[in-house]
Amino acid sequence: MTSDTPARRRLRVFSRRRGAPSRARRRLGAAVRMLAALALAGGVYTAFAPGAFADEPRQLSATALEGKQLYDNSCISCHGRDGQGVDDRGPSLIGVGSASVEFQVGTGRMPMVRQEAQAEQKKPLFDKNQTKQLGQYIQELGGGPQVPEGELVENLDENAEALARGGELFRVNCTSCHGFGGGGGALSSGKFAPSLSASTPEEIYAAMLSGPQNMPVFGDNQLTPEEKREIITYITLQLQEDRDPGGLFNLGRYGPSTEGVAIFLVGITILVFTSLWIAGKS
Amino acid sequence: MKRRKADLQQAPVTFAKGVDERFQASTPLRALLNKVFPDHWSFLLGEIALFSFIILLLTGVFLTLFFDPSMTETAYQGAYPALRGTEMSQAYASSLHLSFEVRGGLFMRQMHHWAALLFMAAIVVHMLRIFFTGAYRKPREANWVIGMALFLLGFLAGFTGYSLPDDGLSGTGLRIASAIMLSIPVVGTWVSASIFGGEFPGHLIIGRFYIAHVLLIPGGLLALITVHLGLVFKQKHTQWPGPMRTNTNVVGERMFPRYALKQGGFFMAVFGTVALLAGLFQINPIWLFGPYRASEVSSASQPDWYVMFLDGLVRLMPNWQIYIGDYSIPPLFWPAVVGLGFFTTAPMAWPWLEARKTGDKRVHNLLERPRDNPERVGIGSMAVTFFLIGTISGGNDVIADKFHISLNAMTWGGRIGLIVLPALAYFIAVRVCLGLQQHDREVLAHGVETGIIRRLPNGQFVEIHQPLGPVDEHGHPVPIEYGGWVVPKKMNRVGALAPAVKGFFYPVEKPSEAPVSPGMPPVSGDTREEITSGRK
């Protein structure tokens, strides 16, 4: 280009200065604005956000301190110091809440005997009081869902529809694993949904809240506390009471599989012996 | 007014005479009442099925009086509190009404269901007896085929009945049935749509199944049972080989009075057993399943036991989907359509297949002991093993849960077992048969083991055998031909002890011909009494 002489360039620079700021100036301006924005955001954050680390040891209540003693003896090897979890051994307990602890420890599932598909229910290692202490400790460590105080079973004299509504909710949410009679069922690879025949209202509520083992969590957004109580009403007053008519034996309510066993073990056996007897009398 | 004195003793005679003079009934009746039936406990197994069918008809009629086969939606307001206010079909509501409010309704429903299970179980047990004793051989091939058809009809009757209450479990079963229909390549969609009257579940299926269940299928069953029994009558019942029994006679009891009385008693026993089951054991608690909703499925949803082998084969089938152009064959098609079709129809050809293989075209009225035909027992054991593995796999989730086995391990065990175990069962069954045969021949050749060990002067020990027949001049038993019937293998069986009192009840009658033995003095005759009217 022949017109690109230094004189012309200067001229162009001059004329540009008149129209728009130079590239250097624009960059400078952008940097200043960015710095100001950062300072503002950072300042607001420092002013309002809590400290990133707890600066001193938590003030645990007396109950929680007792729980910490138990925890440090029996749980720490898998769940780690202060419930932070250990890789490939036990999950972190921050935020699981006392509902989870009361279910897992209260039914004897924790402490686990060994790592396997699912912890089995067994005789609890800790008594009720100790379980409460452990739950309180975990609750104070990181919060989380808690089993509410008060009656968990609806009073059918005041709220008669609770039973039918609970049944409906049970069939929608629970039967696909626990079975229509609450007798439990198999899941894949040795996992299973346990029988509900001996579960207490507190355990059922805690299980729904915390989703133990392979059970999904039914938080208060999925099932409201009232719906949870209705389900518990159906399980405890209908399924556990065995108020079904139809004979002395309900064959475990496992459906046609036990009925098929019964027809051969009882029906065919009786009749084969009868035919042996009748044919023998000749 | 002159009062005629009735001669009560002569009354039956005059009545029978009057009937015969009008209808000439005595000649055919005499033949009928004198017809001889052979007697053996295993011949009574088919009667269990017959009597259960009668119970099914009786209880079924009762159920139809209260059942409403309609899919109209209604809000339940009946006696069962845990479903009150729930939306459900009229069919389910009337089943609940029948169970909770009709007097004796639940008992009748349970009797009907238990009798249905017993009907199918007795058919299978009876069929096993027929198969393993070779009773299906010429001339009775047709009755074998009819028996298989009866099983298939019973299967359909059971499935339609299982679906009628329209509860959660039966709806799940119907959903599977519709899936099986849909799995048929090309025509599946049309088959399902024509049976359900559109998309599953529609509003027609309960009404259609109702007509099939209370009219069409029972009609077919009744017709086939009539032909089945008519053929037994015409071709005469088979009998076991034994003294006086040949291929051309029938040794047994006359139809009247003994055989008829026994059958009447046996009917009462079957009726009592079904009533006992219905009174003691809960079956199909429909109120727990809730009304059918496509979104609700319970774990451990199984069909009744005679369909469970089909369910098991479906569970064991690997996930092999075949694509051909725009069409696909889902894996469900192979076990549920091809498998069911094959396993219910192919055995019908068995009598001809066996006759072709052995070249045996003779008429057989005598049964064969299972051990005398190891090949047949082996093949039967294969079939039974296959059926059992299928059935167990149909309930594999319940077994996995209750016996703490991984469900995946159960599935793989079933898959491998389905291939390996029938072959193993064949081998074991054949070896057992051959072993039993050999032992029979051994006893016939050498005699019964007495358990007496004698020591010879040279110090040798020998066991004394009791020959079953004559001995030659050296004291060795003359070999006896095998007669196709039980060979006595214990000294008690050849009269070393008085006949033991058989049975598990205190005997009403004492053994009449007890030999003189220190163990049991002979029965004296002076305890008998003359039968009188009882009036003093």
Give me the long-range contacts of B193-197 (CB less than 8 A, separation at least 24).
Answer: none
Asked if B175 and B329 count as a contact pair (C-beta separation under 8 A), the reply is: no
B503 in reach of chain A (CB within 8 A): yes
Which of A244, A266, A281 faces B285 most closely, judged by CB atoms?
Answer: A244
Higher-confidence position of A241 and B103: B103
Chain A nearest-CA distance from B111, in A, is: 11
B400 in reach of chain A (CB within 8 A): yes
Interhelix angle A201-210/A225-234, nearest 10 degrees: 130
What's the mean pLDDT in B355-374? Answer: 94
Interface probe for B, chosen from A122, A155, A157, A257 (most Cβ of B below 10 Å), is A257
Identify all chain A residues contacting B52, using CB atoms and an 8 Å cutoff: none
Chain A nearest-CA distance from B504, in A, is: 9
Three-state helix/strand/coil letters over B457-515: CCCCEEEEEECCCCECCCCCECCCCCCCCCCCCCHHHHCCCCCCCCCCCCCCCCCCCCC
A269 in reach of chain B (CB within 8 A): no
Q: How confident is the model at residue A1 (pLDDT cuts 50, 70, 90)?
A: very low
Q: Poorest-confidence range of A101-105, A270-274, B416-420, B520-524?
A: B520-524
Residue of A nearest to B297 (CA): A176
Inspect the interface and report whether the beta carbons of A167 and B270 lie closer than 8 Å. Answer: no
pLDDT at A282: 58
Chain B nearest-CA distance from A128, in A, is: 28
A-B contacts (CB, under 8 Å):
225
Cα-Cα end-to-end distance for chain B? 33
Segment (H or E) for B449: strand B448-455
Identify all chain B residues contacting A276, using CB atoms and an 8 Å cutoff: 41
Give the dihedral sign, CA B268/B273/B275/B279.
positive
| CA gyration radius, chain A | 33
pLDDT at A95: 87
A113 in reach of chain B (CB within 8 A): no
pLDDT at B503: 55
What's the mean pLDDT in A242-265? Answer: 84
In the predicted model, what is the mean pLDDT of chain B?
Answer: 90
Q: Supply φ then ψ for residue B90, to 5 degrees.
A: -60, -35
Residue of A nearest to B296 (CA): A172
Identify all chain B residues contacting A260, using CB atoms and an 8 Å cutoff: 117, 304-305, 308, 391, 395
Q: How confident is the model at residue B161 (pLDDT cuts 50, 70, 90)?
A: very high
A272 in reach of chain B (CB within 8 A): yes
* Per-residue pLDDT tens digits for B115-157: 999 999 999 999 999 999 999 999 999 999 999 999 999 999 9
Angle value at C-alpha A80, between A78 and A84, nearest 5 degrees: 120
Which residue type occupies A113? V
Considering B118-132, B188-202, B288-302, the range whose residues carry the highest mean pLDDT is B118-132
Asked if A154 and A181 count as a contact pair (C-beta separation under 8 A), the reply is: no
Judged against a pLDDT cut of 80, whether residue B458 lies above it is answered with yes
pLDDT cut 70: percent of chain B above it: 92
Inspect the interface and report whether the beta carbons of B41 and A280 lie closer than 8 Å. Answer: yes
Judged against a pLDDT cut of 50, whether residue A168 lies above it is answered with yes
Q: How confident is the model at residue A259 (pLDDT cuts 50, 70, 90)?
A: very high
What's the mean pLDDT in B154-183? Answer: 94
Chain A nearest-CA distance from B163, in A, is: 13
Q: How confident is the model at residue A241 (pLDDT cuts 50, 70, 90)?
A: confident
Q: How far is CA B462 from CA A222, B75, B447, B475, in A?
A: 84, 85, 14, 15
Interface probe for A, chosen from B283, B295, B408 (most Cβ of A below 10 Å), is B283
Inspect the interface and report whether the beta carbons of B85 and A161 lie closer than 8 Å. Answer: yes
What's the mean pLDDT in A244-250? Answer: 78
Q: Is B322 left (phi over 0), alpha (psi -120 to 50) or beta?
A: beta
Strand pairing report for B322-324 and B73-75? unpaired
Q: How confident is the model at residue B513 (pLDDT cuts 50, 70, 90)?
A: low
A155 in reach of chain B (CB within 8 A): no
What's the mean pLDDT in B88-114? Answer: 95
Identify all chain A residues contacting B399, using CB atoms and an 8 Å cutoff: 257
Q: How confident is the model at residue A49 (pLDDT cuts 50, 70, 90)?
A: low
**Which residue do the tokens 């009791």 mark?**
B466
Chain B nearest-CA distance from A221, in A, is: 20
Binning chain B into helix, strand and coil, the percentages to the nearest 5 are: 60, 10, 35
Inspect the interface and report whether the beta carbons of A238 and B82 lie closer than 8 Å. Answer: yes
pLDDT at B517: 43
pLDDT cut 90: percent of chain B above it: 71
Judged against a pLDDT cut of 70, whether residue B507 lies above it is answered with no
**Which residue do the tokens 């039980």 mark?**
B486
Q: How confident is the model at residue B515 (pLDDT cuts 50, 70, 90)?
A: very low
Q: Supply φ then ψ for residue A143, to 5 degrees.
A: 70, -170
pLDDT at A52: 54
Q: Residue B343: which of B313, B301, B374, B302 has the closest Cα?
A: B313
Q: How confident is the model at residue B479 (pLDDT cuts 50, 70, 90)?
A: confident
pLDDT at B6: 72
pLDDT at A2: 46
Judged against a pLDDT cut of 50, whether residue B254 lies above it is answered with yes
A168 in reach of chain B (CB within 8 A): yes
pLDDT at A224: 94
pLDDT at B375: 95
What's the mean pLDDT in B149-170? Answer: 95
DSSP for B151-191? HHHHHHHHHHHHHTT-BHHHHHHHHHHHHHHHTSTTTHHHH
Judged against a pLDDT cut of 50, whether residue B519 lies above it is answered with no
What's the mean pLDDT in A227-244? Answer: 88
Selected residues 29-68 of chain B with any CB under 8 Å from a CB in chain A: 39-45, 47-48
* B242: number of Cβ within 10 Å: 15
Give CA–CA dist B202/B219, Å, rounded.
27
Inspect the interface and report whether the beta carbons of A256 and B400 lie closer than 8 Å. Answer: no
B100 in reach of chain A (CB within 8 A): yes
Structure tokens given for A3: 């017109």
Inspect the interface and report whether the beta carbons of A278 and B99 lie closer than 8 Å. Answer: no
Inspect the interface and report whether the beta carbons of B285 and A161 lie closer than 8 Å. Answer: no
Q: Number of C-alpha atoms within 13 angstroms, CB side, residue B353?
A: 7
Which of A185, A239, A277 faces B299 most closely, judged by CB atoms?
Answer: A185
Give the dihedral sign, CA B466/B469/B472/B476.
negative
Which residue type occupies B238? T
* B380: number of Cβ within 10 Å: 19
Interface probe for B, chosen from A178, A242, A265, A271 (most Cβ of B below 10 Å), is A271
* Per-residue pLDDT tens digits for B307-337: 999 999 999 999 999 999 888 899 999 999 9
Q: Poorest-confidence range of B12-21, B466-475, B519-528?
A: B519-528
Asked if B401 and A185 count as a contact pair (C-beta separation under 8 A), the reply is: yes
Q: Supply φ then ψ for residue B361, to 5 degrees.
A: -110, 10
Rounded to two decimals, the pTM is 0.85
- In the DSSP assignment, the letter for residue B212 is I
Q: By three-state DSSP, how is residue A91 classified?
A: coil
Looking at the DSSP assignment, which residues form a beta bridge with residue B18? none
Give CA–CA dist B271/A58, Å, rounded.
75
Judged against a pLDDT cut of 90, whether residue B240 lies above it is answered with yes
Which of B114, B280, B288 faces A180 most closely, judged by CB atoms?
Answer: B288
Identify all chain B residues contacting A187, using CB atoms and an 8 Å cutoff: 407
pLDDT at B390: 96
Judged against a pLDDT cut of 70, whether residue B412 lies above it is answered with yes
| Length of chain B counted residue by residue | 536
